[in-house]
Structures are given as structure tokens and as C-alpha cells.
Amino acid sequence: MAVLPLPVPLFVAQGETDTLVIPAVQDKYVAARCAAGQKLMYKKYAGKDHLGVVTEGSPLLVDLIDWSKVRIAGAAAESNCSELP
């Protein structure tokens, strides 16, 4: 089955020490989305596990709020697919 881009931009966050959603699995998902032409921002967070990435003080919270504000303001979504391995 072909992977098609979703009609909305994505922000994908991954804790590098996550044992529930293993980083390698998320990397494959992101690679497939990027290959399909998806506009997405993929960020990994060092020292964060599955819940740690969304707890108070996590840099994800600021990143996601900033990314969302720009989308709500109508700016086109940026993609970091070309920077990913």
C-alpha cells in the first residue's frame, strides 16, 4: 500500500530514551512520511522517555506551542525532512 501525504502539517516528537515507542520505529514512520512528500517537523529530545517528553519543563512544550502559533497565524509549514538521515 502506498503512503500518501496527509493534508495537514505534522509535528512529530520523540523521546530518545522512549521504550514504548522505540526511536527506530518512529524514525521509519517519519522516513515514510517524508518520502511521501509530507510536510513535517521531527524533533528528538535527549534524555526523555515516553512520558518525560510531555512533562512540565520538557523543551517539547515550548517547541510545540511555538510551532502551533505559527500554523494558526497562517504561515506555511516548514519541513526538516531534508535534514534527516
The domain spans of the chain are 10-83
Mean pLDDT for 59-69 is 97
Q: What is the pLDDT of residue 1?
A: 64
**% of the chain with per-residue pLDDT over 90:** 93
The model's pLDDT over 1-58, given as tens digits with 9 standing for 90+, comes to: 678 899 999 999 999 999 999 999 999 999 999 999 999 999 999 999 999 999 999 9
Find all residues with CB under 8 Å of 11, minimum gap 6, and list them.
40, 41, 43, 63, 64, 67, 68
pTM: 0.90
Query: Residue 73 has what pLDDT?
Result: 97
Other Cβ atoms within 10 Å of 17 Cβ, number: 14
3-state secondary structure of 77: coil
Quick one: pLDDT at residue 76? Answer: 92
